[in-house]
Structure 1
Amino acid sequence: MFEDKYSFTQDQNRRFAKMNLTRLVFTNSRFEGVNTTLPQTQTIIDGLGVDGVPIDDINVIVQLKRAWQYIINEDRPVSLRVMKNINSVVAKMDSLAPGELRNGSGFVATLRGDFVPPDVDEQAEEKHLQELLENKDKSATEKSIELMYHLMRNQIFWDGNKRTATLIANKYMIDNGAGLINIPLDYWDEWNKLISDYYYDNDMSKIKEWTYKVGIQGIDSYRNISQDRENFVNLTKRKSKER
């Protein structure tokens, strides 16, 4: 049911992620309420300021860029250590303890109110990760989706959990040549409802199936996107010239 939709080599998948870095950062920054346009996001990624964009939003984009570059170039496989490294980058400007597991109570705001995640057990997280990745009955895509939503719900870090979860899931997708996970902004309202229900019900089946249908992206996915198509084409041409 959740077989891999794409079959890239690892190098092809890395180049695909590099080519679409701006769009990935553009989407992921919405987790922090950043509302820059795609061209503004590209300008910030290029190292320039944008009038009217708060410094906090610029920092979110810059750190996401660095985190994406990290997972694209990191040769080590997915592990709790790699997760900590990702969080230390994305939450550098937000968290009092970036890269460190949460050892106290926390909460996350949802459409259904504030959700209080379970306490963090590092050994249990290690075990869950090992068992999931060693499961031979699940595709790389299915494992990535499950890992992403498990981390989002458990909130194992003090801050930046959604960004970290999305990046570590995409690290596994890239390593296995399965494409990328990226929820189009057109579906953002629906995603927010589904993730809120999942937090409270602890039933991943609906959001997992929904994400598989709308959020797994490869070359054809981007060819079919009409929104910001001209920006994407221009970005692709520019990246090709840089190479």
Structure 2
Amino acid sequence: MPLKDKYHMSADQNRRLAKQNLTRLVYTNSRFEGLTTTLPQTQTIIDGLGVDGVSIDDINTIVQLKRGWQYIINDSSPFTFDKMKSINRIVALYDSLDPGAIRTGESKVVLASDDTYTPPIPNETQERKYFDHLINQNISTTDKAITLMYHNMRNQIFWDGNKRSATLAANKIMMDGGAGLINVPLDKWGKWNDLISDYYRTGNMEKIKEWTYINGIQGINL
């Protein structure tokens, strides 16, 4: 079903909302990498300080997520495919074989039931066409953002950091359109993991799109 925008803000208002919630957004996104840092620990790391018991790798993940969010918050120009690559270059700086580059080798995703999904090797020309076609469709900002996010996650278009990069790319679209933010609450991640695993297996995006629309869109009614 078509997804209508739930929120109607200016782009500047939406960016301020993201800036005010930066720590919580980074805190949630860090769970894609299995981090267990608390919200106060995340804030401390964002403030530029170390935290006892948190590894350098985990600190780097949080710092690069912060930089990724700052990149999309501070960028007011239209979103492009190359900016999507720039997001990955930031968030996967310390994880990827080639940060910001489209994957040219095999990848494997472990699903919720411990089975695996092997996505095809992406073709950059085709991915650019998909992106341009989606961005120019006559559908809501929210529909474009959620569709791109899950397309990129399942196709694993980058070497690493695909969930983080896809989430930030989707939120760049949301902010540009003043449609709020996509941020699935952590207490709903059990269901989300089941849905994303089912989507990886089947390629059918509708169920997880509708669920995310109901549970994962945040904003302010002005």
TM-score after normalising by structure 1: 0.88
What corresponds to 1:114 in structure 2?
116
Following superposition, the deviation at residue 118 of structure 1 comes to 1.3
What corresponds to 1:178 in structure 2?
179
Task: Measure the CA separation in 2 of the matches of 1:122 and 1:46.
Answer: 37
Task: Measure the CA separation in 1 of the matches of 2:101 and 2:78.
Answer: 19
Aligned pairs for 1:39-78 (under 5 A) are: 39-78=40-79
Aligned pairs for 1:90-101 (under 5 A) are: 90-101=91-102
Paired AA for residue 173 in structure 1: M
Following superposition, the deviation at residue 216 of structure 1 comes to 0.3
Q: Percent same amino acid at aligned positions?
A: 63
What corresponds to 1:226 in structure 2?
none
Q: CA RMSD, aligned part only?
A: 0.9
What SS does the aligned partner of 1:75 have? coil
Task: Measure the CA separation in 1 of the matches of 2:81 and 2:148.
Answer: 12
What SS does the aligned partner of 2:116 have? strand
Task: Measure the CA separation in 2 of the matches of 1:159 and 1:96.
Answer: 8
1:144 aligns with 2:145: yes
What corresponds to 1:128 in structure 2?
130
1:27 aligns with 2:23: no
Runs of 4+ in 1 over 2 A off after TM superposition: none
Task: Measure the CA separation in 1 of the matches of 2:123 and 2:77.
Answer: 23
Superimposed CA distance per residue, residues 182-211 of structure 1 (whole angstroms, 9 cap, x where no aligned partner): 000000111001000000100001000000
Paired AA for residue 122 in structure 1: E
- Larger CA deviation: 70-79 vs 144-153: 70-79
Paired AA for residue 157 in structure 1: F
Task: Measure the CA separation in 2 of the matches of 1:213 and 1:118.
Answer: 30
Task: Measure the CA separation in 1 of the matches of 2:153 and 2:80.
Answer: 16
User: Between Structure 1 and Structure 2, how many residues are aligned?
Assistant: 219
TM-score after normalising by structure 2: 0.97
In structure 2, runs of 5+ residues without a counterpart are none
In structure 1, runs of 5+ residues without a counterpart are 221-243
Task: Measure the CA separation in 2 of the matches of 1:75 and 1:85.
Answer: 15
Task: Measure the CA separation in 2 of the matches of 1:125 and 1:76.
Answer: 21
- Larger CA deviation: 149-158 vs 114-123: 114-123
Task: Measure the CA separation in 1 of the matches of 2:93 and 2:128.
Answer: 23
Paired AA for residue 210 in structure 1: W
What corresponds to 1:167 in structure 2?
168
What SS does the aligned partner of 1:47 have? coil
Task: Measure the CA separation in 2 of the matches of 1:31 and 1:169.
Answer: 15
What SS does the aligned partner of 1:98 have? coil
What SS does the aligned partner of 1:219 have? coil
Following superposition, the deviation at residue 5 of structure 1 comes to 0.5
Superimposed CA distance per residue, residues 96-148 of structure 1 (whole angstroms, 9 cap, x where no aligned partner): 21011101111111114121011111111111111111111x11001100000
What SS does the aligned partner of 2:110 have? strand
What SS does the aligned partner of 2:59 have? helix
Following superposition, the deviation at residue 173 of structure 1 comes to 0.2
Superimposed CA distance per residue, residues 195-240 of structure 1 (whole angstroms, 9 cap, x where no aligned partner): 00000100001000000000000137xxxxxxxxxxxxxxxxxxxx
What corresponds to 1:202 in structure 2?
203
Following superposition, the deviation at residue 78 of structure 1 comes to 1.9
Task: Measure the CA separation in 2 of the matches of 1:114 and 1:3.
Answer: 33
What SS does the aligned partner of 1:81 have? helix
Paired AA for residue 49 in structure 2: L
Paired AA for residue 164 in structure 1: S
